[in-house]
């Protein structure tokens, strides 16, 4: 059966995620040990015991979700289920890069450690007051309308995540997002939801983090993919390691074009789509574009065993 693995990103985390898989698999325990050594934190303690406010810090969330994504992939492989193609949303794209052989497991954890630290530093710099830049989800407007309203960064607001045909996340200044709410509702938006995030991700506000990450990426040599893997930046297949590295850097300040990725995946004749990691965010987003081929949620041991 031809499988495409979809790896979730930030927002899917919860305390205790992956523990049943960790308890079942020695390979997963070994993976936790590796990640703990590279990240410099006891990842089992962080993921299984840390309170929500600690786990949701970007510098903790990024290695934590990445480790659980990799753990689910590992136990699926132990049971003979492998991907023929893969993709990940935002942070989840790094698990996809490892799945496709572009980076190693060791490089995966090293990269998300630095990425998380840089983005946390950006959030700390912006602060958390009412005047800090942030993000908001718009429900009920098409991507075309959002591009018309904000595609050029109008009012200090940028499209950041094209999650579904009529669900787009904006990043912007506090004043810009307040004005955007009125503008979106005037144009027919059903809902406008301010998000509790630490920084205006996937927008030019993260330029300082992008510059820092560019220095980190100089240490790596991304390999060409050994299977189909899709880019957040373009929504299309990644064909070379150099392209993967360029997109990884651009992704820091460019919007995530998830709906375009989903369309590319649909065109490649997969027989099974599997959300390979915690939560069911991507399962829900997939429903909005491909009802005839459901995405199967696979973040717990029970769900893994259900695939068998």
Tokens of 213: 């990450």
For 253, which DSSP code? T
Catalytic pick from 12, 25, 90, 264? 90
- Tell me, yes or no, if 288 is annotated catalytic: no
Cite the DSSP H helix spans in the chain. 19-24, 26-39, 43-49, 52-55, 58-78, 92-99, 105-126, 143-150, 174-186, 207-217, 241-250, 258-266, 281-287, 301-307
Q: Provide the CB-side half-sphere exposure for 141 (13 A, CA).
A: 26
Catalytic pick from 12, 83, 143, 202? 202
Tokens of 11: 């927002």
For 137, which DSSP code? E
Number of H helices, E strands in the chain: 14, 9
- Tell me, yes or no, if 202 is annotated catalytic: yes
Assess contact for 266 and 293: CB atoms under 8 A: yes
Distance, in Å, from the CA atom of 70 to the CA atom of 220, rounded to the nearest integer, reads 20
Query: Whose CA is closest to 8, among 75, 71, 66, 78?
Result: 66
Lookup result for tokens 């006891």 = 42
For 60-69, letters b (16+ CB in 10 Å) and e give bbbbbbbbbb
Distance, in Å, from the CA atom of 285 to the CA atom of 289, rounded to the nearest integer, reads 7
Residues with catalytic roles: 90, 202
């Amino acid at each position: 059966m031809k499988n495409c693995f979809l790896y979730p990103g930030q927002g899917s985390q919860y305390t205790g995620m992956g523990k049943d898989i960790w308890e079942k698999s020695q390979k997963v325990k070994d993976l936790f040990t590796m990640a703990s050594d590279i990240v410099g934190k006891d990842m089992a303690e962080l993921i299984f015991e840390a309170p929500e406010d600690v786990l949701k810090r970007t510098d903790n969330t990024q290695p934590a979700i990445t480790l659980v994504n990799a753990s689910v992939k590992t136990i699926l492989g132990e049971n003979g289920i492998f991907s023929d193609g893969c993709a990940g949303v935002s942070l989840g794209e790094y698990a996809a890069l490892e799945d496709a052989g572009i980076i190693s497991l060791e490089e995966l954890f090293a990269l998300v450690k630095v990425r998380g630290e840089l983005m946390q530093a950006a959030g700390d710099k912006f602060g958390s007051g009412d005047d800090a830049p942030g993000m908001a989800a718009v429900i009920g407007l098409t991507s075309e309308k959002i591009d018309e309203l904000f595609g050029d960064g109008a009012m200090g607001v940028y499209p950041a995540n094209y999650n579904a045909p009529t669900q787009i996340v904006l990043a912007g200044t506090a004043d810009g997002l307040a004005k955007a709410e009125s503008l979106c509702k005037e144009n027919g938006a059903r809902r406008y939801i301010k998000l509790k995030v630490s920084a205006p991700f996937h927008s030019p506000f993260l330029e300082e983090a992008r510059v820092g990450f560019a220095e980190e990426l100089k240490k790596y040599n991304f390999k060409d993919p050994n299977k189909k893997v899709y880019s957040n930046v373009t929504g299309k297949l990644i064909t070379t390691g150099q392209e993967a590295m360029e997109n990884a850097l651009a992704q820091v300040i460019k919007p995530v074009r998830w709906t375009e990725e989903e369309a590319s995946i649909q065109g490649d004749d997969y027989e099974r789509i599997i959300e390979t990691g915690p939560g069911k965010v991507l399962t829900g987003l997939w429903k909005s574009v491909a009802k005839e081929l459901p995405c199967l949620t696979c973040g717990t041991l029970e769900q893994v065993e259900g695939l068998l």
